[in-house]
């Protein structure tokens, strides 16, 4: 069976966006984040941050799979999937009626997040050492995504329940993402 990276990227993007919206609208999240008190533009920013975090996770996982793979056709598939994921969210937002420059802007933000998380990975690897038996992207993306979601708010950073809720969301999202290519 031949897998189509473009359609899989579309599916992953829609799943990440839908699950992000459900997460941000959950009673637990709204209570811990006090997002009901925020302006709509801030809630929209939080949605975009959460979606970009999920897509960055997917891109990093698939790039890693491609890097460690031994099957050339699978490596190419995962690399193409990563490329498609980089632009799919922005393209979808334009399809939904957002301004045309939204696509390039979101792609730049996602690329910046991916590069940021790669830098964090290098630091994490220095501190932790060999962690090949785990998906190192989950703690890295969780920590970085939480920072962006909360804008580095020190009060939110101290709230472990809020962080754990986000960590669990990212962990579950990683399973949903992998299931899209199975």
Per-residue pLDDT of the chain (182 residues), as tens digits, is 558 999 999 999 999 999 999 999 999 999 988 899 999 999 999 999 999 999 999 999 999 999 887 888 899 999 999 999 999 999 999 999 999 999 999 999 999 999 999 999 888 878 777 666 567 899 999 999 999 998 877 676 567 888 999 999 999 999 999 999 98
How many structural domains comprise the chain?
Answer: 1
Calpha distance 80→168 (Å, rounded): 28
Q: Which domain holds residue 136?
A: 5-179
Dihedral, 160, 163, 169, 174 alpha carbons, nearest 10: -120
Residues 55 and 135 sit within 8 Å (Cβ to Cβ): no
């Amino acid at each position: 069976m031949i897998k189509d990276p473009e359609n899989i990227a579309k599916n992953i993007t829609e799943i990440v966006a839908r699950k992000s919206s459900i997460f941000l609208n959950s009673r637990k999240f709204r209570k811990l984040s006090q997002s009901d008190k925020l302006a709509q533009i801030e809630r929209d920013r939080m949605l975009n941050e959460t979606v970009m975090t999920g897509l960055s996770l997917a891109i990093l996982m698939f790039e890693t799979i491609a890097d460690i793979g031994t099957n050339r056709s699978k490596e190419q598939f995962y690399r193409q999937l990563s490329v498609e994921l980089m632009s799919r969210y922005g393209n979808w937002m334009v399809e939904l009626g957002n301004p045309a420059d939204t696509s390039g802007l979101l792609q730049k933000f996602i690329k910046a997040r991916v590069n940021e998380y790669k830098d964090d990975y290098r630091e994490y690897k220095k501190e932790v050492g060999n962690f090949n038996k785990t998906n190192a992207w989950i703690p890295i993306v969780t920590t970085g995504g939480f920072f962006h979601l909360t804008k580095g708010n020190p009060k939110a950073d101290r709230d472990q329940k809020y962080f754990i809720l986000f960590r669990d969301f990212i962990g579950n999202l990683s399973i949903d993402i992998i299931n899209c290519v199975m």
